[in-house]
Chains A and B, each alone.
Chain A
Amino acid sequence: MSTPLVGQIINLLAAVLLLIVFAMLAQRRLLRLIHLFALQGAVLTLNTLVVAVTLHQSHLYFSVILNLVLKVIVLPWILIRLVDRLDLRRDAESVGNLPLIMLVAVVLVILSFNVALPISELAGTMTRGTLGIAMASVLISFLMMITRRKAVAQVIGFLSMENGLFFAATSATYGMPMVVELGIALDVLVATFIFGIFFFQIRETFDSLDIRNLENLKDRE
């Protein structure tokens, strides 16, 4: 494949990722949010595969498999099972002042591109232009965690942030060394299990998964 075309494909996938993260920010329904998260994982995997095949980065095949299994299959499956068992299938929440949140997200994108500029000039990879998008995904996921009031949505924000970080690693360096990537994957998997345990603990104690119940610990006067 010719290099400009590969560059175009990678940029296209990066743009799709940015769109998905915006969609997640605005999505009120929990189940749709999980579908979007799985889609994000799929696009991420596809992007890694394109980089691996066209730029002959054979160690990335391992990342592709890891991503496919963990982020497209296992994590969404765990999340959907949790939603079923917690009976949240029809759950939706108000996201607050959506236009304002979207504007903040746009500002974050501009900011990320500015911060990423000196770094991507130095990075020796073909995918370096997408570093700004990766950083924007991380920051927008963070924004999503702040704006959500439901525990499950916050956790999806957390996982989407991890996806953004993974994307940053692929675009700036063609991926981290294998042992590190394995370790990170293990941490994310264990974290998801523990989040699951937490949902039940929170529900048992507060009868709902609304984080507003979890804002009582202050420095008591």
Chain B
Amino acid sequence: MTELLLVLCLPLIGAFTLGLRGDRPWAAEANASFSLLTLLAALALTARVMSLGPQVVLAELFFVDAFNVFLVALTAFVGFTTSLFSRVYMRVEQDRGRVTVRRLRLYHAMYQMFMFTMFLALLTNNVGILWVALEAATLATVLLVSLYRTPESIEAAWKYFILCGVGIAQALFGTILLYVAAERVLGAGGSALLWTHLYEVKDQLEPTVLGIAFVFLLVGYGTKVGLAPLHNWLPDAHAEGPTPISAVLSGLLLNVALYAVVRNKVLVDAAVGNHLPGYLMMGFGLLSVLVAAFFLYRQKDVKRLFAYSSIEHMGIATFAFGMGGPVAAFGGLLHMTAHSLTKSAIFFAVGHAVQKTGTQVMSDIRGLIHHSPAVGWGLMIGGIAILGIPPFGVFASEFIILTTAMRDHPWAAPVLLLGLGVAFAAIFTRLQAMVFGDTTAKRLPRPPALLPVFVHLLLVLVLGLYIPPYLAAWYRQAAAMIG
């Protein structure tokens, strides 16, 4: 199946090409071109899966179904728009002498490598390879977090490396336990770790072992999702790295880690039959929403603010998948999409705002709207969208999740509402001051890349107003599978 191979190979070829030639002036354009080609391949793959249904290819190495093909398309899309933003952003950073040409080569090569690990994690049929790909994603991004070589960025990268490394080691232990249980049913050898085989026998797997395995898997991959209390690496890594990396960490990595949790949850749910995985995920989700909401209040740094907001939203999505059932899963999927698009758009706007004002401290960013109305409006609209104000997509998904929570788990609804309310107050007041008020912004030598911001926000608006029937069908299909 050529499309699938292209989706995997293009970023890999891109990584090696840019690793060798990434110091040339056209490296940023090459990065964007590789991302565009990957996006086209991903769209072709999506079209194929939508017409032919789920597929297992290449001696069962890879598989695509409604759930992962939707994330592949989203990942490729955000990867492409971020590469457009990064083209302008990194040029400005280079002009200012914050990065050298050699570090830009590393940056571009690792950007493509990160995209490769994301696609590998999504498309692989092997539970073990999923682990390998997620660990490789940390390895690809860790040197990017420390790209500026400031003391803060090195500290952030070290923390990211150690915490995610330790976290994901727990997930490996969980995977080993899963293999122990699967081996008894499927026999030793490769097939006992393949999703497609595991799903066929999911109700025959040993419940005790799978229950213990799920705790390790949830803690392990949950560290990467940024669930409280394992979220410590996330704000630092987002705040100290280059902004395009913050955008892909928030928009893509967290989603893919959550994908790993949800895939395992479906398996364990069927095996244990007592809804324990669901309650664990709901607990972690609610805790993340609350912790993030109250930390939001204390933030002074604009990128840390939106990093905590990512923790909050991943908490909401985890809660939704934890509730289970097709409606909640539909809401969770929609929330993943809307959050990914909105948050990356916000990081694009924040990136330009920080370059214009020369600071990440919120009290020093003032009056964006006077000097650069487009950046100001981009940030304002993005902020409104992420706070869940209608008519944007985040509102639609939060509405679905909240109403389902009220029906099925009424005790959880007030907690969610409290978290959302506190987050709203914390972000909105900051946003207003940054966008309006007296200006501190300066003109930049290069025009900002605002197309990605508004394209993303337009898509989120469309998701809120009207979900096209084929997209809704696709979500429903995926939701039925994981609900």
| A119/B298 in contact, CB under 8 A | no
- B431 part of interface (Cβ distance < 8 Å): no
Distance between Cα atoms of A173 and B185 in the complex (Å): 13
Contact across chains for A173 and B188 when beta carbons are under 8 A apart: yes
Contact indicator A172/B177 (Cβ below 8 Å): yes
- Residues facing A in B103-156 (CB within 8 A) are 126, 128-129, 131-132, 135-136, 139, 142-143, 146, 149-152, 154-156
By the criterion CB–CB under 8 Å, are B126 and A122 in contact?
no
**Residues on the B chain within 8 Å of A180, using CB:** 126, 128-129, 131-132, 193
Contact in complex: B151, A138 (CB < 8 Å): no
Measured as residues with beta carbon below 8 angstroms from the partner, the interface class of chain A is: 35 or more
Report chain A residues within 8 Å CB of B240.
Answer: 217
CA distance A125 to B299 in the complex (A): 52
**Which residues of B are found within 8 Å of A122, using beta-carbon distances?**
180-181, 184, 206, 208-209
Q: Is the CB of A179 within 8 A of B126?
A: yes
Judge whether A145 and B209 touch: CB under 8 Å. Answer: no
Interface presence of B269 (CB below 8 A): no
| Complex interface: stretch among A32-40, A45-53, A191-199 | A191-199
* A158 engages B173 (CB within 8 Å): no
Instruction: Please determine whether B236 and A217 come into contact, CB atoms closer than 8 angstroms.
Output: yes
Judge if B158 is at the interface, Cβ distance under 8 Å: yes
Please determine whether B208 and A187 come into contact, CB atoms closer than 8 angstroms: no
Rounded to whole Å, the gap between the CB of A47 and the closest CB of chain B is 16
Q: Which residues of A contact B177 (CB under 8 A)?
A: 119, 172
Stretch at the interface among A11-19, A72-80, A92-100, A200-208: A200-208
- Chain A nearest CB from B243 CB (Å) reads 17
Interface contact B165-A220, CB-CB below 8 Å: no
For residue B166, which residues in chain A have a CB less than 8 angstroms away from its CB? 142, 145, 158, 161
A126 to chain B, nearest CB (A): 14
Residues in B with CB closer than 8 Å to A201 are 146, 149, 154
Does A130 reach chain B (CB closer than 8 Å)? no
Residues of A within 8 A of B206 (CB): 122
- How many inter-chain contacts with C-beta < 8 Å in the A-B complex? 139
Per a CB cutoff under 8 Å, which of B128, B151, B161, B179 touches A206?
B151
Q: Cβ of A88 < 8 Å from any Cβ of B?
A: no
Listed stretches A2-10, A23-31, A62-70, A162-170; interface member? A162-170
Instruction: Tell me whether B165 and A191 are in contact (CB under 8 A).
Output: yes
Chain A residues closer than 8 Å to B13, beta-carbon distance: none
Q: Is the CB of A124 within 8 A of B183?
A: yes
| In-complex Cβ contact of A186 among B132, B142, B157, B172 (8 A) | B132
Q: Does A190 sit within 8 A of B, measured CB to CB?
A: yes
| A184 near B176: Cβ-Cβ < 8 Å | no
Taking a contact as CB atoms under 8 Å apart, the answer to whether B154 and A187 are in contact is no
Chain B residues 187 to 226 lying within 8 A of chain A, measured CB to CB, are: 188-190, 192-193, 206, 208-209, 212
B307 to chain A, nearest CB (A): 11
B300 at the interface (CB under 8 A from A): yes
Whether B156 lies near A220 (C-beta < 8 A) is: no
**A169, chain B: closest CB distance, angstroms:** 5
Give the complex CA separation of A214 and B151 in angstroms: 8
Chain B nearest CB from A190 CB (Å) reads 5
Q: Given A172-B180, A219-B298 in contact, is the A115-B212 Cβ separation under 8 Å?
A: yes
With contacts A119-B177, A158-B165, A201-B149 known, is A214 near B154, CB below 8 A?
yes
Contact indicator A165/B193 (Cβ below 8 Å):
no
With known contacts A158-B162, A174-B188, A187-B132, A119–B209 Cβ distance under 8 A = yes
Contact assessment for B301 and A220 in the assembled complex, using a CB-CB cutoff below 8 Å: yes
**Chain A residue contacts of B212, Cβ below 8 A:** 115, 118-119
What 1/0 flags go to A137-155 for Cβ under 8 Å of B? 0100010010000010010
A186: chain B residues at CB < 8 Å are 132
Taking CB atoms, residues of chain A closer than 8 Å to B155 are: 213-217
B474 within 8 A of A: no
A-B complex: 6 closest residue pairs judged by Cβ atoms? A180-B128, A183-B132, A214-B155, A177-B190, A187-B135, A172-B180
What are 23 residue pairs bridging A and B, where the CB atoms are less than 8 Å apart in the complex? A119-B208, A119-B212, A122-B206, A138-B173, A169-B176, A172-B176, A173-B188, A176-B128, A176-B176, A177-B128, A180-B129, A180-B131, A191-B135, A198-B157, A201-B149, A202-B158, A204-B149, A205-B149, A214-B159, A216-B152, A217-B159, A219-B298, A219-B299
Q: List 15 extra interface pairs beyond A118-B208, A161-B169, A165-B169, CB under 8 A.
A: A119-B180, A158-B166, A158-B169, A161-B166, A165-B172, A168-B176, A173-B180, A174-B188, A180-B131, A183-B132, A187-B132, A198-B154, A201-B154, A205-B149, A217-B156
